[in-house]
Amino acid sequence: MSEKYTTETILVIDDEDIVRQSFCDQLEDLGYKVLEANNGKSGLALALSELPDLILTDLRMPLMSGIDLLDNCVRLLPDTPVIVISGAGLIEDVVQALHLGAFDYINKPVRNPNLLQATVSRAMQQVNLQRENKNYQLHLEQLVAERTTALSESNAQLELHKHSLEKLVDLRTEELVEVIDNLNNTQQQLVEAEKMASLGRLVAGIAHELNTPLGICLTFISSLQEKLTNFQRAFHKGQLRKEDFVSFLQSAKETSTIVTSHLTQASELVQDFKMVSVDVSSEMKREFDLVEYTKNVVNSLKAEVFESKIRIQYDRSSDYGINSYPGLFTQIFTNLIINSVTHAFVSGIAGKINIQLQLVGQVIVIIYEDDGRGMTEDTRRQVFEPFFTTTRGSGGSGLGMNILYNLVVNNLSGTVECQSQVNLGTKFIIKFPR
Ligand SMILES: Nc1ncnc2c1ncn2[C@@H]1O[C@H](COP(=O)(O)OP(=O)(O)OP(=O)(O)O)[C@@H](O)[C@H]1O
Ligand SMILES: [Mg+2]
């Protein structure tokens, strides 16, 4: 007797009642629940309806042989092991059964109950293992399914997130474009405002500059007028003396000299002011070689530069042909060279001037350098301001560099930069698109 009590069910199929009963008794003793059938056909039906854990079947039976039953079981109940019971001397049947998929075989009659127990429990172990395996597999599949669901959920969330991010980026881009537009507008307005401000400074400067010569003229002319009135009065009264006449003539001569000189000065100023807004449209635009043109301008200034040496450097393999207003370059170089002569090369020192012409891509770069006495930082900062000059008393109007600035920035759409240090010379870098 076994102490084992299980719910494991074994189906015993045998047409010999005594044999079948003996099996059933022994198995029940071992603690199994036992079902029985006395032929293959009803055995199969019972197996399909009750789904036992293990089948023990005889091989030779009426209606359906054990081999046919085994064949059916292997197909229909692949997880249920079948142990065949064979009579002595039927070894071919056993071999065929094992080929077909029988789990094991037992010879009958069973004389050793331990053998039956061992065979059955091995089969049961196999069943349990298979079940465990199956459960484990199921569990794994479930796990995979769960993970797959979770993954696709997070994928969906990611997709959503991506969408909202894209939308956000679009939105921000739109906002940025708007901000940039606004900035551009503001910049434009600032540029306009600055233009108006410098125009204002220019007008104020013009008024200030003209005030002196015109004021002097007015003083002298008024005084002459007064003298003329006195002169006329004396003449009509017949009181005009010779000395009065000579004195009046002297005054008239002096006044006219002074007035002429100051009016000339005023007129020159007006000419200079006109230059500030150089009217390029009145000059013809044409194709010319910048190197050749620069050489011509420098040659024409020979008389002005005295002993100073001017060197022009350029790349011989480059083409310096441009389509522009040549007069513009005359003014630019004249202003630069005359400035070097008047401001940099003082007390008769013959300095050196170096003009470099470069072609960087489609940009023309002019580097003008002198080795003169340079400028203080304060002067350098204001050099392009209209009316800024350090030589007001000796004829400077302070318009030269402002004219140059306007020509480069407004007419050539370029830039000009001034680098200078006291005693270390001055450098102007002009860049403009070809
Ligand atoms: N090459 C230079 N070296 C030293 N100082 C310079 C040089 N070029 C210009 N400057 C300084 O910059 C000032 C402004 O120059 P700008 O040509 O505008 O006026 P100006 O020469 O004084 O007068 P204008 O050219 O109207 O007769 C000059 O007064 C001078 O102080
Ligand atoms: Mg000047």
The sign of the torsion formed by the CA atoms of 225, 226, 228, 233 equals positive
Same domain, 247 and 362: no
In a domain, 64, yes or no: yes
* Dihedral in degrees, nearest 10, Cα atoms 320, 323, 326, 328: -100
Q: State the Cα–Cα distance between residues 332 and 322, nearest whole angstrom.
A: 16
Q: Which residue has the tokens 């230059």?
A: 275
In a domain, 123, yes or no: no
**Residue type at position 161:** H
pLDDT of 378: 93
pLDDT of 270: 76
Same domain, 221 and 347: no
The answer, yes or no, to whether residue 273 has pLDDT greater than 50, is yes
Q: State the Cα–Cα distance between residues 275 and 183, nearest whole angstrom.
A: 33
In a domain, 328, yes or no: yes
Name the closest ligand to CA 343.
1
The answer, yes or no, to whether residue 217 has pLDDT greater than 90, is yes
Phi, psi of 313 (to 5 degrees): -110, 140
Same domain, 235 and 305: no
Contact 96, 118 (CB under 8 A): no
- Confidence label for 207 from pLDDT (cuts 50, 70 and 90): confident
Same domain, 321 and 235: no
Q: State the Cα–Cα distance between residues 193 and 416, nearest whole angstrom.
A: 21
* Residues near ligand 1 (Cβ within 6 A): 335, 339-340, 343-344, 370, 372, 374-375, 379, 383, 388-391, 396-402, 426
> Which tokens hold the place of 41?
């056909």
pLDDT of 192: 67
Q: How far is the CA of 390 from the centre of ligand 1 (A)?
A: 7
**Residue type at position 54:** L
* Dihedral in degrees, nearest 10, Cα atoms 229, 232, 236, 240: 110
Q: How far is the CA of 389 from the centre of ligand 1 (A)?
A: 6
Same domain, 387 and 262: no
In a domain, 427, yes or no: yes
Q: Please spell the DSSP secondary structure of 192-245, one letter per residue.
A: HHHHHHHHHHHHHHHHHHHHHHHHHHHHHHHHHHHHHHHHHHHHHHT---HHHH
Give, as one character, the DSSP assignment of residue 20: H
Q: State the Cα–Cα distance between residues 83 and 108, nearest whole angstrom.
A: 12
Same domain, 255 and 330: no
Name the closest ligand to CA 391.
1
Q: How many CB atoms lie within 10 A of CB 431?
A: 17
Question: What is the number of domains present in the chain?
Answer: 3
In a domain, 168, yes or no: no
* Residues whose CB is less than 8 angstroms from the CB of residue 366 and which lie 6 or more positions away in sequence, other chains included: 332, 355, 356, 357, 358, 428, 429, 430, 431
The answer, yes or no, to whether residue 233 has pLDDT greater than 70, is yes
- Take atom 22 of ligand 1 and give the residue whose Cα is closest: 389
Same domain, 290 and 428: yes
Contact 372, 345 (CB under 8 A): yes
Contact 421, 378 (CB under 8 A): no
Q: Please spell the DSSP secondary structure of 105-164, one letter per residue.
A: EEESS---HHHHHHHHHHHHHHHHHHHHHHHHHHHHHHHHHHHHHHHHHHHHHHHHHHHH
In a domain, 2, yes or no: no
- Residue pLDDT, tens place only, 46-78: 999 999 999 999 998 888 999 999 999 999 999
Q: Which residue has the tokens 């003329």?
A: 228
* From 198, 401, 420, mutation site for ligand 1 pocket: most ligand atoms within 8 A of C-beta: 401
Same domain, 229 and 99: no
In a domain, 415, yes or no: yes
Q: What is the CATH number for 310?
A: 3.30.565.10
Q: State the Cα–Cα distance between residues 191 and 227, nearest whole angstrom.
A: 53
Same domain, 343 and 423: yes
Q: State the Cα–Cα distance between residues 344 and 337, nearest whole angstrom.
A: 10
- Residue pLDDT, tens place only, 97-145: 999 999 999 988 777 888 889 999 999 998 888 889 888 999 999 999 9
Instruction: Among 126-135, 175-184, 390-399, 404-413, name the one with the lowest average pLDDT.
Output: 390-399
Contact 405, 382 (CB under 8 A): no
- Take atom 9 of ligand 1 and give the residue whose Cα is closest: 339
Q: State the Cα–Cα distance between residues 420 and 235, nearest whole angstrom.
A: 65
> What percent of the chain stands above pLDDT 90?
61
Q: What is the CATH number for 47?
A: 3.40.50.2300
Judged by phi (left if over 0) then psi (alpha if -120 to 50, else beta), residue 31 lies in left
In a domain, 99, yes or no: yes
Same domain, 309 and 424: yes
Contact 396, 390 (CB under 8 A): yes
- Out of 255, 276, 297, a domain closes at 276
- Out of 64, 93, 111, a domain closes at 111
- Out of 261, 276, 291, a domain closes at 276
- Confidence label for 3 from pLDDT (cuts 50, 70 and 90): very low
> Which tokens hold the place of 66?
């054990």
Can you give the residue range of the structural domain that contains 368? 280-433
**Residue type at position 102:** A
HSE, side-chain direction, 13 A CA sphere, residue 256: 5
Q: How far is the CA of 336 from the centre of ligand 2 (A)?
A: 7
> Which tokens hold the place of 122?
């091995």
Same domain, 212 and 323: no
pLDDT, mean over the chain: 88
pLDDT of 279: 46
Q: What angle do CA 426, 429, 430 make, to 5 degrees?
A: 140
Q: How far is the CA of 399 from the centre of ligand 2 (A)?
A: 7
Q: How many CB atoms lie within 10 A of CB 265?
A: 19
- Beta-bridge mates of residue 5: none
Same domain, 337 and 245: no
Tell me the average pLDDT across 310-329: 90
> Which tokens hold the place of 72?
């059916």
